[in-house]
Structures are given as structure tokens and as C-alpha cells.
């Protein structure tokens, strides 16, 4: 028979307990505060009017306006072009910023931090806000959408790229230095082969996100299928909204599948 061990009791952590109780109290307080201050009108939500509206609109989604397909597909294509051009521009713009942020490339912590700030600041804007800014700057056309997508994606891609660069095998770089290669040669022979597949994989992933993001840009006039959504919605043309949603769902699914397959082969 094996000897029974007396497991030492878990040390009492009064402070942890106090912290946990405090956290729960604060959470409850925040919930109470929010629910009491936003004045939810429960009686309107569950009124017959709401049910009538649903009853009127939802069935129309399921009888989509097939006759509009040509027009919708054309705008969907424009959406994809916006996403593609935008993410391509971002995929390139992000490279120098990523090198600036990578601590194994630029050995100056202040420059790294400045790079991170730039990327962080860019990331803080939702695409739709950027789109509003660019519509004001270049007018209501797809180019505004491209700019919004490009700037919005640079923030995320730059950060991911920087992480890829920081994870490369620096011993390989040392071998190139030891052979008398200069910095530019090391970049092209030592660094690029190590990072390019990951860069491309992230860029394609970002393109996937951008197709979804650019679908709504048209709402603020930045081109793409969002424009159609706005018009159809303003005209209470729910059959057309239903058709647009269907096209978006199908397109996004197809693109996700394709990009997933490509990314699996890349890395």
C-alpha cells in the first residue's frame, strides 16, 4: 500500500479574496449604471408594432430581388476592387513601418516606440471614420474607399509584420555578416526569404477582412456595394436589401475559402 500524503493546505490569500469581491461589486455597479441610464423601453421592443414590422420586412429578405443581380454583382466587384487595391497598398506601406518597429532591425528603442505609436494611432480609427475623412478630402468615390482601407489595414499589417520580423532566425543574419555581405544584400538574401511568406499570408488574411469592411464603406459615400444598401434601405426596398446581403454572404464565403486554401500552402 502506498503511503498517503498529507497535501499542504493552500495558503490563505485574504488579499486575493478582497480583490475578487471588489471586482464583482464594481462589475455589478457598472451594469446597473448602464442599464438604468440608457432607458431601454421594454414595452416598445415587445409591442405588436415591432412584431408587425418584422412580419412585414423579414419575409421580403427571403424573396430577394433576383432581377437586380447584374447591378448588384457589378457593385460587389467594385467592392472587391476597393478591398484589393486598399490591402495591396497597405501590404506595401506596412513594410517600412514594420522594420521601424522591429527591435532586432532598428536597435533604437525610441524609434521602435515611435513606429508603434504611428501604427497604434492608425489602428485606432475604424475604417468607416477614415472613409468619412477621405470622402471629405477626395470626394464621394471609390478612391476614398481605397484610401480608407489602405490606411486602416496598414495599422494591423504593420504590427503583424513587425512580429514576424522579430521572430526571424538572427543567426542566419550573422552568417551573412560574417561573409562580408552588406546591409542591402542581407535584407534581400537573409531577411526577405524568411519573412515574405508570412507577410503574404497576413496580407491575404487582411484582404479577407477588407472585403467585409469595404461592403459598408458605401454608406458614407466611399463607393462599393454599401451605396446600394443605403439607396435600397432609404427606399424601403427590402427585397433588394435581401439580394445584396445574399450576394455579400456568398462572395465573402468564397473569398474566405480561397484565401484560406492559399494561406495554408504559403507558410
Partner 1 sequence: MITFENVSLVYPNGTQGLKDINIQINEGEFVVIVGLSGAGKSTFIRSINRLVTPTSGKLMVNGDNILSFKGKELRHLRKKIGMIFQSYNLVKRSTVMKNVIAGRLGYTDTWKSIFHLFSEKDRQLAYENLKRVNIESKLYSRADELSGGQQQRVSIARVLTQQPTLLLADEPVASLDPPTSHQVMKYLKQINKEDNITTIVNLHFIDMAMEYADRIIGMRDGEIVYDGPASSVSEKTFEEIYGRSIREDDIIGGEEHE
Minimum CB–partner distance for residue 200 and partner 1 (Å): 12
Nearest to 89 by CA among 155, 5, 3: 155
Nearest approach in angstroms of CB 190 to partner 1 is 6
Nearest distance from C-beta of residue 191 to partner 1, angstroms: 9
State the alpha helices, DSSP H only, in 125-182.
127-138, 142-166, 170-178
Chain residues that interact with partner 1, rule: CB under 8 A? 169, 171-172, 174-182, 184-185, 188-190, 193-194, 197
d(CA 87, CA 152): 9
When the beta carbons of 45 and 184 are compared against partner 1, the nearer one is 184
CB of 187 to partner 1, least distance (A): 9
- Mutual angle of helices 127-138 and 142-166, in 10-degree steps: 130
Q: Which is nearer to partner 1, 181 or 245 (CB)?
A: 181
C-beta closer to partner 1: residue 131 or 195: 195
Tell me the closest approach of the beta carbon of residue 197 to partner 1, in angstroms.
7
222 in Cβ contact with 144 (< 8 Å): yes
CB of residue 184 to partner 1, shortest distance in Å: 5
Residue 125 or 176: the one with the smaller Cβ distance to partner 1 is 176
| Helix, strand, coil content of the chain in percent (nearest 5) | 80, 0, 20
Nearer to partner 1, 32 or 179 (CB): 179
Q: Which is nearer to partner 1, 203 or 228 (CB)?
A: 203
Name the residue among 215, 86, 105 with its Cα closest to residue 154: 86
Amino acid at each position: 500500500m502506498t503511503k498517503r500524503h498529507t497535501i499542504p493546505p493552500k495558503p490563505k490569500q485574504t488579499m486575493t479574496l478582497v480583490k475578487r469581491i471588489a471586482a464583482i461589486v464594481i462589475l455589478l455597479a457598472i451594469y446597473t449604471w448602464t442599464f438604468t441610464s440608457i432607458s431601454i423601453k421594454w414595452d416598445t421592443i415587445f409591442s405588436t408594432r415591432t412584431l408587425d414590422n418584422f412580419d412585414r420586412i423579414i419575409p421580403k429578405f427571403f424573396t430577394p430581388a433576383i432581377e437586380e443581380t447584374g447591378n448588384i454583382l457589378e457593385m460587389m466587384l467594385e467592392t472587391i476592387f476597393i478591398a484589393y487595391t486598399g490591402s495591396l497598398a497597405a501590404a506595401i506601406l506596412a513594410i517600412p513601418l514594420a522594420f521601424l518597429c522591429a527591435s532586432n532591425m532598428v536597435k533604437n528603442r525610441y524609434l521602435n516606440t515611435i513606429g508603434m505609436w504611428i501604427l497604434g494611432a492608425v489602428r485606432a480609427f475604424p475604417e468607416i471614420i477614415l472613409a468619412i475623412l477621405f470622402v471629405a478630402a477626395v470626394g464621394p468615390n471609390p478612391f476614398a474607399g481605397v484610401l480608407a482601407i489602405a490606411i486602416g489595414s496598414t495599422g494591423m499589417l504593420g504590427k503583424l509584420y513587425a512580429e514576424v520580423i522579430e521572430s526571424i532566425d538572427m543567426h542566419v543574419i550573422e552568417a551573412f555578416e560574417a561573409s562580408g555581405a552588406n546591409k542591402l544584400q542581407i535584407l534581400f538574401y537573409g531577411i526577405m526569404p524568411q519573412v515574405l511568406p508570412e507577410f503574404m499570408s497576413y496580407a491575404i488574411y487582411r484582404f479577407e477582412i477588407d472585403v467585409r469592411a469595404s461592403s459598408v464603406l458605401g454608406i458614407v459615400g466611399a463607393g462599393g456595394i454599401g451605396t446600394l444598401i443605403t439607396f435600397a434601405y432609404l427606399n424601403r426596398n427590402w427585397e433588394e436589401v435581401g439580394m445584396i446581403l445574399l450576394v455579400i454572404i456568398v462572395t465573402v464565403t468564397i473569398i474566405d475559402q480561397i484565401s484560406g486554401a492559399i494561406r495554408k500552402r504559403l507558410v
